[in-house]
Structure 1
Amino acid sequence: MMLFIGILLVACNLRAPFTGVAPVLDTIQSVLSLSSYQTGLLTTLPLLCFAVISPFVAQLEKRFGLNITLLTALVAIMIGILVRSLGWVSSLYIGTLLTGAGIAVGNTLLPSLVKQNYPDKVANMTGLCGLCMGVSAGLISATIVPLDMLGGWQIALGTMVILPLLGAVIWSKQLNGTTYQPKQIKTPSSMRSIWLAPLAWQITLFMGINSLLYYMLVAWLPTILTDAGFSTLEAGSVHGMMQLASALPGLFLGPIVSRMKNQVTIAIIMSGLLTVGLMGLWIAPLGAMLWVSCFGVGSGGVILLAYMFIGFRTGSTTQATLLSGMAQGVGYLLAASGPTLVGILHNITHNWTAVLLIATGLSVVMLISGALAGRLRSIELSDVEAVQV
């Protein structure tokens, strides 16, 4: 039971400490007199951490074992949140980097953690993890502005520390367990192989484009909404709804996927919902609550399917960690460039039409990648081919 609770608490820390900052970015920028570039870094730096660190997490796991590596990640998130809340410009960025590094490690190891401990329930357990990620992120996003009004942005951001604190306390109980032990793996050759597998690239594009689109809206949705006439408080609430909607697939996706022969149809449906949400924000932004709900459900479903694909399409936890590192490394490199490129494009066009149209086009590419990755296939690192199973 403690293992089960611990895994869910780990999941709660993989989104909220990062996405919860967006609704108070304008306040932080004003109080600390940050430029637009400096403010954008608060969104970009964690994504760069995800991109740079994810491909090397397999080596950390090999050296220290899964339990210690995860506990260290939770402690890094906890320290990062506290440092970020001190109120200095330097501490803001240092804390953001620490938080991003911790989340990067946890993100990469989560599929391996589920595959190792629940090999016959990958879909259901991944769904529960997604539910926890979405609910925790949604609650943080919906409450961060009221907390800012009551006690200031430092208090608002600092309250997030409860998540990694609880996670670290519970996960520390696993240090003497047998959940997962350090092992010898052929990391260099395996890493080369995984990067040559077509199926690995299909999963990577599916996850990567979703990450790009999701974090684009995490960073810019409040601004898009205020430009459309929403108040700051209303925009924060809609932002929170998007996060909560992303948790909904965790309620039903696991049982559905576990009964399917392949995941082609469900990948198309989830990607299609995301596409509808983006088109709705472009055509009728005043209906944002509906559109962000579609986007959130779709995006939440896509990330869960991507995590499931990592478990389904690999033959061992080692392969799962390597594929997870590849998919998340490339994915978050795309995501890291997204908010900045969106800002540049918006400055050129002075509207959100081009941004949302390009995002819609990318969502179609994601849909195709998901349909391909959803076929019943697996990655064989020995011959670097995707073979029918």
Structure 2
Amino acid sequence: MTVPARTALSPRATLLRPGLILVGVLLIATNLRAAITSLGPVLGIVQDDQGLSSVAASVLVSVPLIAFATFSPIAPKVAAKVGLEHALGAALLLLAVGIVLRSTPPQPLLWAGTALLGVAIATVNVLLPALVKRDFPARIGPVTGVYTAAQSGVAAIAAGIAVPLAGQQSGGWRLSLGVWAGLAVLALGVFAPRLRRFTRIVTPSAGPGASGTRSPWRSALAWQVTLFMGLQSLAFYVLLTWLPSIERVVGISSAAAGFHQLLFNLSGLLGSLLCSALVHRLPDQRPIAIGGSLLLMGALTGLLLAPGIAVIWAVIAGFSIGITLTLALSLFGLRTRHYAEAGALSGMAQAAGYTLAALGPIAIGAVHDATASWTPALAILVALVVVQTVFGALASRPKTL
């Protein structure tokens, strides 16, 4: 568990205007999904060009999620060694390098670059809530909502333009995926002035520190936040992976299914903005957690019973996941007393959460293969959202670790 130390500033450190700080946060956030959502639409092209089997292609899609689960607990320790700002700056640089390598021959670089960008995004995922907790302590919900909306919007754009950018040539996917390195470089350039500031977070050797903090891994509240984060992430990645397949079974064209994915991501933007507007206006966040989860449950039930109007369920599901994602990220700051605690809780929740997210699409796909039907798989997903609702309500009570 990390505990706070005094912020140490270099002699050249200067105060930046909150508006410029917020722009930097938003640009960093736009990099959190674009490199991932841009792959799905051109995955078939990558398979054909690189001679990948369906199993290998599935593993390639899962590599970033595995990196999230593996590296999330390590990210706070990296920040403790090199400083919060420097860790974020290094992650943006690593992201740009990873994206470029993924788009560069020979094939081993495809895998290496994908793993590197996963590590980079995991680092930013964990540390960005800590930065928001430190720099915007009274505006955690609104700032988290705005940056989550930015992340969802760019993710939708990345998915929507992936195929047009790739064109008809077999190697066009390299440009389609590689172009997002420019966004990482842009974010690093805007964030660069922050690198003059150095925030050191020290880690105690063992047990609670003088401030009475303790490891989130031994906190019931932290596990409630973690399970809420993990289950809503599982639902998102299951739908991101399998929604087009579910739609094609009932006769919806591939083009229409792709458009529905775009709407799924864009509606998440609206859900994020709504959550950010509400999160600080309520005495506690239980109504948001329960309401968002029930909306998702309704969308999945609709997809189960009336898949022919999947576009409606896709929009509702995306909207609800935008709400629950923003709330889950906000809880890292709302349920902790200091940005160091927020970073530790973020690392724990995202490690376990992305483990669930990585396993979810594989498990749901296996259920479908075993039963030759999407009905049991969707029924299981509805049941998991019931569990999500319970843990969301518990995690959203007005208390801290």
TM class by shorter chain equals: over 0.9
User: Matched residue pairs, number?
Assistant: 377
For each residue in 1:92-151, what CA deviation from the matched residue of structure 2 results, as whole angstroms up to 9, or x when unmatched?
111110110000000001110100000011111011111111101011111212222356
Deviations 1:325-363 (A, max 9, x none): 110000011111122222222221122111111111101
Alpha-carbon deviations, 1:292-334, whole Å to 9, x = none? 1111111111111111111011011111111001100000111
> Are positions 1:232 and 2:254 aligned together?
yes
- For 1:37, give the aligned amino acid: V
Map of 1:7 onto structure 2: 25
Rounded Cα–Cα distance in structure 2 between residues aligned with 1:100 and 1:287: 34
Aligned to 1:50: 68
Aligned-pair identity in percent equals 37
Report the counterpart of residue 109 of structure 2 in structure 1.
91
2:35 aligned residue: 17
State the match for 1:173 in structure 2.
193
Partner residue, 1:337: 359
Which one has a larger percent helix, Structure 1 or Structure 2? 1
SS of alignment partner, residue 92 of structure 2: helix
- Which secondary structure does the structure 2 equivalent of 1:240 belong to? helix
- Residue 42 (structure 1) shift: 1.5
What is the CA deviation profile of residues 202-227 of structure 1, one whole-angstrom value per residue up to 9, with x for unaligned ones?
Answer: 10010001111111122222222233
Q: CA deviation at 1:87?
A: 4.8
What is the rounded CA distance, in whole Å, between the counterparts of 1:187 and 1:109 in structure 2? 21
CA distances 1:226-258 after superposition (whole Å, capped 9, x unpaired):
333233322222111111111112322222111
Q: Is the alpha carbon distance of 1:284 and 1:187 closer, same or farther for their aligned partners in structure 2, counting shifts above 3 Å?
A: farther
2:131 paired with 1:113: yes
* Equivalence for 1:384: none
Relative to structure 1, is the Cα distance of residues 269 and 158 closer, same or farther in structure 2, using a 3 angstrom cutoff?
same
Deviations 1:166-214, CA, capped at 9 Å, x for gaps: 11111112111x4x51132327536973111111011001000111111
The aligned runs of 1:278-293 (5 Å cut-off) are 278-293=300-315
* Aligned position for 1:386: none
State how far apart, in whole Å, the 2-side matches of 1:210 and 1:188 are.
32
What SS class does the counterpart of residue 400 from structure 2 fall into? strand
Quote the Cα distance in structure 1 between the aligned partners of 2:251 and 2:352: 35
Instruction: Look up the SS of the partner of 1:378 in the other structure.
Output: coil
Q: Which stretch shifts more, 81-90 or 143-152?
A: 143-152
The aligned amino acid for 1:29 is: Q
Structure 2 distance, partners of 1:149, 1:284, is 35
Match of 1:158 in 2: 178
Cα deviation, 1:50-85, whole Å, max 9, x if unaligned, reads 001001111111111111111111111111111111
* 1:296 corresponds to 2:356: no
2:148 corresponds to 1:126: no
Q: Distance in 1 between matches of 2:26 and 2:117?
A: 18
For the residues of structure 1 that align with 2:234 and 2:168, how far apart are their CA atoms? 33
Matches of 1:109 and 1:231, distance apart in 2: 40
Q: How far apart in 2 are the matches of 1:373 and 1:29? A: 41
One-letter amino acid of the structure 1 residue matched with residue 89 of structure 2: L
Aligned-partner SS, 1:181: coil
Q: Does 1:28 align with 2:17?
A: no
Cα–Cα, structure 1 residues 228 and 162, in superposed 2: closer, same or farther, change >3 Å?
Answer: farther
1:351 corresponds to which of 368, 373, 378: 373
Residues 188, 329 of structure 1: alpha-carbon distance in 2 compared, 3 angstrom cutoff: farther
Unmatched tracts of structure 2, length 5 or more: 1-18
SS at match of 1:223: helix
**Secondary structure, aligned partner of 2:111:** helix
Correspondence for 2:285: 263
Q: In the alignment, is the contact (CA less than 8 A) between 2:38 and 2:176 conserved in 1?
A: no
Stretches of 4+ aligned residues off by more than 4 angstroms:
none
Distance in 1, matches of 2:206 and 2:147, equals 30
Moved more, 329-338 or 152-161: 152-161
The answer on 1:139 being equivalent to 2:192 is no
Take 2:311 and 2:328, find their aligned partners in 1: how far apart are those partners?
A: 26
- Aligned CA RMSD, in angstroms, stands at 1.7
Matched, 1:277 2:299: yes
Is it true that 1:71 corresponds to 2:89 in the alignment?
A: yes
State the 1:371 CA deviation: 0.7
The 8 Å contact of residues 122 and 308 in structure 1, kept in 2 or not, is answered as: yes
